Amino acid sequence: MISSRQIKAARSLLGWKGKDLADKSGVGITTLRRYEAQDGIPNANKFVLKAIKGCLEEVGIVFSGDPIKSPGVSLNQKD
């Protein structure tokens, strides 16, 4: 799973607003904002978190570390 910090950091690396991620992942903006406001791994539907994670990974985001203790995010630029 991914943490709320990783979601926010990934959006920042991409220069995306919340609406951008919501639109591209098919997740409602209100749901996304609620997840990002939580600490740690959002109390969320696992399918929704997978949709968010998958969307970010498709554009080059790489999640690393422990989502709670040492959440990491990097951008693998695609040519």
What's the pLDDT tens digit per position in 8-65?
A: 999 999 999 999 999 999 999 999 999 999 999 999 899 999 999 999 999 999 999 9
Q: Which residue intervals of 26-63 are DSSP H helices? A: 29-37, 46-58
Whole-angstrom Cα distance, residue 17 to residue 55? 14
Number of domains comprising the chain: 1
Beta partners for residue 75, in sequence order: 61
CATH number at residue 65: 1.10.260.40
Domain that holds residue 19: 4-75
Q: Which residues, other chains included, contact 32 with Cβ-Cβ below 8 Å and sequence gap of 6+? A: 7, 18, 21, 22, 25, 52
Question: What pLDDT, on a 0 to 100 scale, did the predictor assign at position 79?
Answer: 58
pTM recorded for the entire structure: 0.92
CA 53 to chain CA centroid, Å, is 5
